[in-house]
Amino acid sequence: MSKLIEGSITIYEALQHIENGKYVMPAFQRQFVWNMQQIEKLWDSILLHYPIATFLFWHIDIENVESDTSFCNFLKDVSFNSRKESDTPNYDLVNVDVAITDTAILDGQQRLTSLFLSLLGDAYIRPIHARRKTGEKLFAKLLIELDENKCDIDEEEYNSKKHDIQFRSGKMSPTHFNIREIISDKFQNDSTRDAAIEEAVANVPPGSKDYARNILNTLHSKIFVEPLIRYTEILDMKQDDALEMFVRFNAGGRALRKHEITMSILEAYWSNAKIEFGRLLKNSYEGFGSDFIIRTALMLFGDVVKSNISRKVANELKDNWGKFNTTLSDLEKLLKDMSIDVSRFANNWNVLLPIIFFMYFNSEYGKNRSAIKAYLARAIIFTYFQSGTTSKLLRMRNNIIEYGNAITIEMLDNTNELRVTDVRLEDVLLAEKGSRVAGEVLYYLSLGWIDNEYKYDQDHLHPESRFSSSKPPSVTPENWLKWGSNRNRLPNLRLLEGRLNSSKNDRSLAGYYDDMNKEQRERFRETAIIPDGVSLEVEKFDEFYETRKKLLTQRIRELLG
């Protein structure tokens, strides 16, 4: 039976072992797959005093290694593509001399390789069009911003960095510090370190100097003083057993995602959570994912800004699971009564959470249908949740509570980003073909006739191609240029079923209309929102555009409550 020993060493000691050939990796290790952002976050975690997990080592010697057993040396340089993903091939296989090499890394090679590249190895970035093997590559430095006021940090983003640490090629700012400089003699030596730190912070503004000094002192301590590399080393183990252990430790071959980690925490409090989630996420809610349920639970029972499930939230969700299910079922019915399919929000479900909160805590939500529809239209068309999602969800929850657990038009009008203004409406009307805003506006204006069984395209009324050909004689060059810029905007767009759009092609609007019978013309004017008394000839495009723009403005105002 194999023996285990526990130990810990500093980061610098571990990297020296890699440099000197003491540490290698078994040949069955996968290639280096971390990207630059993961390396940056590793250093951020270290500076935040987070543990960097235990490492699993395999002690190798003449007794457990055959002469033809292969291992891999650590990568001493890695290139990353323009997306900052590693594009370096697999490690090179080597036969080791156990007199020099006595440790193989079973778990932790991604972290150790990342640390080595940062301090002793070389990292390169390939420009977008550079060839993988022979193309240009730029040396990248791992820099940390020492001026606290210049740190570009998103405090609301889940799992975001708390320090401004980035790989960069080219010139560095006077307030940047190249992290590998910390291993130079002047920083390692106790008698010169303080002077080296003062030299490094010389260009940092006075208000940030203490922040910068703290970073550099912490960096030194984390690399040279604190034994952060905590490991378990397995003795007397043959390669076949090492392989089995490696497979067990790396089952799945990928890192756990946020919702998977959260589900693991949740299942500790509620063993049937995954089964119940699976039952709910069927039919209409298929594709929403477990993160939708977890975020909704946080909205109802916890702190929606945080991502962690607590025992309290888990128990609340478990104890109220029946009501939770009923609320989601009622939401589906409510939207269906508005001719909206709930499945439409599978990739944009945050917009539904305030409605769910309202419905869960107020059984008389049906009295506020018009306000709910107005909220939904405003949140989508004004792209309310495009950024700062969790803080906006918290704000909406607090507003709903303030207005007596209800969504009302008054509440919407008192929420700055959801208030209907002339400027905001003008921005909407300038939305162009293919944009999400144009698509959503046309969809919601078409709820009275649209059939969710069909696929609809954004279609030009006056065909786009007409404005690329010669102008009509009666139109001035200035107007023709102006009309060309307006052809792709909302007042010249409508929704059209895909197969009809393909058959319509580039026919003129007047010719397309003239070929219709009376019934078809009536339906066309209704579904395409065509104003009365306006010519459909291209020579009158300006009049058509402005008249339809006014009609759309009126319809959008009605839609937004």
Q: Encode pLDDT of 446-504 as tens digits.
A: 988 988 788 888 899 998 888 888 889 998 989 888 998 899 999 999 998 876 655 66
Residue 310 has pLDDT above 70, yes or no: yes
218 burial type by CB count under 10 A (0-12 exposed, 13-18 middle, 19+ buried): middle
Q: Which two tokens stand for residue 335?
A: 């939207």
List the one residue out of 273, 258, 231, 1 whose CA is nearest residue 105: 231
Place of tokens 């090629």: 169
165-184 residue pLDDT tens = 999 988 889 999 999 999 99
d(CA 12, CA 27): 25
**Which residue shows structure tokens 């609301």?**
156
User: What number of helices (H) and strands (E) belong to the chain?
Assistant: 23, 14
Measure CA 479 to chain center.
43
Closest CA to 321 of 285, 263, 276, 358: 276
Percentage of the chain modeled with pLDDT above 90: 63
Rounded-to-integer distance, Cα 108 and Cα 96, Å:
20
Residues 5-55 pLDDT 10s? 999 999 999 999 999 999 998 876 667 889 999 999 999 999 999 998 899
Q: Are 208 and 147 in contact (CB under 8 A)?
A: yes
Structure tokens at 144: 């940390």
Q: How far apart are CA 74 and CA 92, in angstroms?
A: 9
Measured distance CA(488)–CA(424) in Å, rounded: 19
The answer on pLDDT for 525 being more than 70 is yes
| Domain boundaries, given as residue ranges, for the chain | 3-249, 258-419, 428-559
Q: How many CB atoms lie within 10 A of CB 222?
A: 19
Instruction: In whole angstroms, give the CA distance from residue 416 to residue 147.
Output: 33
What distance in Å separates the CA atoms of residue 26 and residue 69, rounded to the nearest whole number?
A: 9
User: Directed axis angle between helix 258-269 and helix 311-319, to 10°?
Assistant: 70
Q: What is the DSSP string of 147-182?
A: -GGG----TTSTT--SS-EEEEES---TTEEEGGGG
* pLDDT tens, residue by residue, 362-420: 999 999 999 999 999 999 999 999 888 889 999 999 999 999 999 999 999 999 999 99
Give the E-state strand segments of 192-307 in sequence order: 229-235
Q: Extract the tokens encoding 125.
A: 């970035």
C-alpha R_g of the chain:
31
327: exposed, middle or buried (C-beta count within 10 Å: 0-12, 13-18, 19+)?
Answer: buried
- The per-residue DSSP string of 49-77 comes to T-----EEEEE--TTT--TT-EEEPPPSE
Give the residue among 430, 442, 433, 554 at the shortest CA–CA distance from 495: 442
Inter-helix orientation angle 353-361/321-337, to 10°: 110
Q: What are the helix (H) ranges across 341-388? A: 353-361, 369-381
**Which of 182, 213, 197 has its CA nearest to residue 15?**
182
**With contact defined as beta carbons under 8 Å apart, do 53 and 89 qualify?**
no
